[in-house]
Amino acid sequence: MAKELFLEIGTEEIPAGMLPIAMRDLKRLVSKELNAGRIEFGEITTFATPRRLVLSVADVAEQQQRQELNLSGPSVKVAYDVDGNPTKAALGFARSNGVEVSELTQQETDKGTYLFLSKVIEGKPVVDELPAIMLKVVSSLAFKKSMRWKDMDVRFARPIHWLVALYGGEVVPFSYAGLDSGNESRGHRFMAPESFAVSGLEDYVAKAREHFVIVDPEERKQIISQEIERVATEEGGDLNVDAELLEEVAFLVEDPTPLCGIFDEEFLQLPDELLITSMKEHQRYFTLADSEGKLLPKFITISNTRAVDPDVVVKGNERVLRARLADAMFFWKEDQRRSLESRLESLKNVVYQAKLGTSYAKVQRFTVLAETLAKQLDPEVLELTSRAATLCKCDLETGMVYEFPELQGIMGREYAMIEGEDPRVATAIYEHYLPIQAGGKLPSDNVGAFVSLADKIDTVCGCFGVGLIPTGTADPYALRRCAIGILNIVLERGYRLSLPQLINQAVSQLEDKLNRSVAEVSADVLEFIRLRLVNMLTGQQYPVDVVEAVLGADFDDVIDARQRVQALADMKKQQDFAALAATFKRVGNIIKDGVDAEVVESAFVENCERELFVQVQRVQQEVVRLMASGDYPAALRSIAELHPSVDAFFDGVMVMANDETVKMNRLALLTQVAGLFSGLADFSRIAA
């Protein structure tokens, strides 16, 4: 009979951002350990609140699965000496498997006679295995930041205060962090801190609710969403919907209660985005707007307690917000005493990165890159692009951004507008930071896009140049995000440019800081970005082998590469593609790097050679024209017309003939064939 496995780890308040990851890790770890233990199980459910991580595994078997093993040991020649006595090899194999040598059998294989052991491992009662499994699951949970407490040699996101572990309602005994597992959970820290006994998930969820804890984050999110909409309507406003904030707040509380507060209307002089960002980032407040979208002097906060007098809580929040907004108002007025441009020189005193120099030097470098992009792609915005690149980091030296770092770019845009800069320049100052996250908003204009590309390329090239290369999950300079941002901007805006040339220019500007050659760094950066493009395209459901084949042939123009991927992916769906790919792979395998020689018609021996040559001459000019125009589907169709002639060639001749002249001529002919598709894709990478 299957039973439920239940686990709760009770802690001090864990930061909201860690909890979704912890839920996923908890599910992954218990699945891994149960599978390794040959234990059948059903659905896994995980929940989290700031003070607890919860796991329920349905239908966990009572007995491990029986395991039949057929183990191969050493060869008989090695296992026994000339007198027939077992050697160390035979003895060791038997001992490691808990049997005597006499229990081993001999079996004939293609490689000779070997010792074998047929072994049956009977399943043990699961209840005996669970304590070790639970201990391993809890101790294996890792966090981006963890801590120690007391004098114990354990680490967790926050100190653990209780452990509940049950199997079929009975305690699974294990100890961790100085605590013994039991069957008692705890309620809300302030409203119901007492312990209560539980027997499983259903019982736990019901009793936790009675103790002011809603354990399901999705339920908390739904409650918060409904309540803030209700309060906004009651206050005569429209909610500024923020899914990211809603997600975070749901993991900050166990019993959400909405409260509405106000702030002085004088603060509405500040830009809406400043007010919204400040209230979101520092206070986790939801904001309201009127029917015309104008910000209202009101906010909604989600309390984790049901206060006896809510007005006291509201006034406390209003007091904190008033102080923060007063600071913002001070910086807003003070910053406007100096222009953005006057702050450029101050960037000489700001270290961007110890090995890469100051922020001023970085601005100078990527301004050149942005100007290059503008000259190539949209010369009419060259002046605007240069101006935006020059000013885009100047707000880093304002009091507002120093106090509220999350407002970088936003304040630069606002101050630029006040100072009368061209609106496209002001917008670009903000948009050059885009995209901020995966799938995020991209620059809306060429000016912002050029500056964003230049800044990101300089960042990636600079870090690679001084050895600050991402390893594993460590990417302190967010280079992967930069590379993905570069690709998304290029693809979204359809920029036809040579990425290798731009990278080489960026690396060349850093030559005095490099610890390797310009060519080596440029190649590494290009490969880094290529791998990001591989991931992006395969994530869009293009076949992996098609993406690798195209990008392995030529990766210069990203737009061109995507078009070739699309064309080849469409062709791969055709019934005869496998045979076509196999033929072209054979061509590539034979010529490898090809031969640098002209095809001599007089050296042909067989009609199939002459026929292939005629067909290549016919198709070649058409393929060149089609590829030049970017009509890759048509180019591939033209190349495919050679398939019968190439097959007939392989059937009719031996390429590596004894006559050197004939052999070289045939290799030269195949080199011409390969040249037709070499710029499209590397067919050697196409899966059969």
Q: Is residue 549 part of a domain?
A: no
Cα separations in angstroms, 629 against 60, 498, 624: 61, 17, 9
Q: Does the structure show a pLDDT above 90 at 328?
A: yes
How much is the CA Rg of the chain, to the nearest whole Å? Answer: 34
pLDDT at 674: 85
Indicate the SS3 state at residue 583: helix
Q: Is residue 560 part of a domain?
A: no
What does the angle CA 244 – CA 248 – CA 251 come to, to the nearest 5 degrees?
150
Residue that is last in its domain, among 163, 183, 210: 210
Instruction: Find the distance separating the first CA and the last CA of the chain, reported in whole Å.
Output: 47
**Based on the domain organization, do 363 and 424 belong to the same domain?**
yes
**Based on the domain organization, do 528 and 475 belong to the same domain?**
yes
**Based on the domain organization, do 518 and 379 belong to the same domain?**
yes
What does the angle CA 377 – CA 383 – CA 385 come to, to the nearest 5 degrees?
60
Residue that is last in its domain, among 491, 519, 541: 541
**Based on the domain organization, do 103 and 229 belong to the same domain?**
no
Q: Is residue 457 part of a domain?
A: yes
**Based on the domain organization, do 473 and 371 belong to the same domain?**
yes
CATH code of the domain containing 427: 1.10.3210
Among 264, 240, 245, CA closest to 319: 264
Indicate the SS3 state at residue 494: coil
Cβ atoms of 113 and 76 closer than 8 Å? yes
**Based on the domain organization, do 362 and 318 belong to the same domain?**
no
Predicted confidence band of residue 287 (pLDDT cuts 50, 70, 90):
very high
Q: What is the mean pLDDT of residues 177-205?
A: 96
**Based on the domain organization, do 366 and 297 belong to the same domain?**
no
Residue 53: count other Cβ atoms within 10 Å of its Cβ. Answer: 25
Could you report the per-residue pLDDT of 72-123, keeping only the tens digit for each? 888 888 888 878 888 888 888 888 887 888 878 888 887 788 888 877 777 7
pLDDT at 111: 79
Q: Is residue 421 part of a domain?
A: yes
Cα separation, 598 vs 600, in Å, equals: 6
Q: Is residue 303 part of a domain?
A: yes
Could you report the per-residue pLDDT of 37-86, keeping only the tens digit for each? 989 999 999 999 999 999 999 999 999 887 777 778 888 888 888 788 88
Q: Is residue 568 part of a domain?
A: no
Q: Which range (35-44, 544-553, 608-617, 674-683) has the least confidence?
A: 674-683
Q: Is residue 71 part of a domain?
A: yes
CATH code of the domain containing 629: 1.10.730.10
Among 436, 439, 328, 343, CA closest to 393: 343
* Partners of 112 in the β-ladder: 109
Among 162, 174, 145, CA closest to 33: 174
Q: What is the mean pLDDT of residues 379-386?
A: 97
Cβ atoms of 131 and 173 closer than 8 Å? yes
Q: Does the structure show a pLDDT above 70 at 688?
A: no
**Based on the domain organization, do 350 and 492 belong to the same domain?**
yes
Q: Does the structure show a pLDDT above 70 at 570?
A: yes
Could you report the per-residue pLDDT of 126-164, keeping only the tens digit for each? 999 999 999 999 999 999 899 999 888 899 999 999 999
Residue that is last in its domain, among 151, 180, 210: 210
Number of domains in the chain: 5
Cα separation, 679 vs 686, in Å, equals: 15
Q: Does the structure show a pLDDT above 80 at 488?
A: yes
**Based on the domain organization, do 32 and 130 belong to the same domain?**
yes
**Based on the domain organization, do 470 and 451 belong to the same domain?**
yes
**Based on the domain organization, do 91 and 181 belong to the same domain?**
no
Q: Which range (220-229, 297-306, 604-613) has the least confidence?
A: 604-613
**Based on the domain organization, do 666 and 593 belong to the same domain?**
yes
pLDDT at 100: 85
Q: What is the mean pLDDT of residues 641-652?
A: 90
Residue 671: what residue type? T
Cβ atoms of 295 and 276 closer than 8 Å? yes
Could you report the per-residue pLDDT of 448-477, keeping only the tens digit for each? 999 999 999 999 999 999 999 998 778 888
Q: What is the mean pLDDT of residues 305-314?
A: 92
- Print the domain residue range for 661: 576-685
Q: Is residue 569 part of a domain?
A: no
